[in-house]
């Protein structure tokens, strides 16, 4: 019986040894190429702005396009390792904005002569919102940790395809 228990304990030690995490707790950031989703959304929404060229330190980490409602969401990690998101949809503006900003009160902010609505969530997440015909664009969202200046960089990258 002692021998059997010793074999089981030896097996546990081996599994424990190989299950140890690496010494570095730094994870590799998975990046994606959102260009296919962006191009498809631009074909659905001519004239609606979509993310264009960003500084090299910006890394796209997620990209999702849905058909019903027609929506595009692209997430980025900024040079300061914060998260910023672009979202655009044909979904009714009020519903889409409330879901993504987590706030119902907006102030107005001017970015390069263009007026945007700014929303702040309870946790401090900032979102910038603007409507282009039937498309509502949200830069930021409730998941965003990016600063106002970083969101402005993302807004300035928007181009119409």
Neighbouring CB atoms inside 10 A of 19's CB total 7
- Tens-level pLDDT at each residue, the chain (161 residues): 778 887 878 777 778 777 777 666 666 778 999 999 999 999 888 888 999 999 989 999 999 999 888 899 999 999 999 999 999 998 877 788 888 888 778 889 999 999 999 998 888 889 999 998 889 999 998 888 899 999 999 999 998 86
Contacts (Cβ under 8 Å, ≥6 apart) of 104: 98
Measured between alpha carbons, how far is 12 from 114 in angstroms, rounded to an integer? 63
Query: And the tokens for 15?
Result: 């599994």
Instruction: State whether the Cα torsion 10-11-14-17 is positive or negative.
Output: negative
β-pair partners for 146: none
- pTM of the predicted structure, to 2 decimals: 0.80
């Amino acid at each position: 019986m002692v021998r059997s228990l010793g074999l089981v304990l030896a097996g546990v030690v081996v599994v424990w040894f190989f299950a140890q995490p690496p010494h570095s707790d730094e994870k590799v950031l998975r990046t994606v190429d959102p260009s296919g989703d962006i191009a498809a959304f631009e074909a659905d929404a001519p004239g609606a702005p979509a993310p264009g060229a960003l500084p090299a330190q910006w890394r796209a980490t997620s990209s999702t396009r849905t058909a019903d409602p027609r929506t595009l969401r692209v997430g980025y990690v900024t040079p300061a390792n914060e998260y910023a998101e672009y979202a655009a949809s044909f979904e009714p503006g009020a519903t889409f904005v409330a879901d993504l900003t987590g706030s119902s009160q907006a102030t107005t902010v001017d970015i390069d002569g263009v007026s945007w609505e700014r929303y702040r969530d309870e946790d401090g997440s900032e979102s910038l919102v603007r409507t282009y015909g039937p498309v509502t664009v949200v830069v930021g969202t409730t998941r965003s940790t990016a600063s106002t200046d970083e969101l402005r960089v993302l807004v300035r990258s928007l181009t119409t395809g």
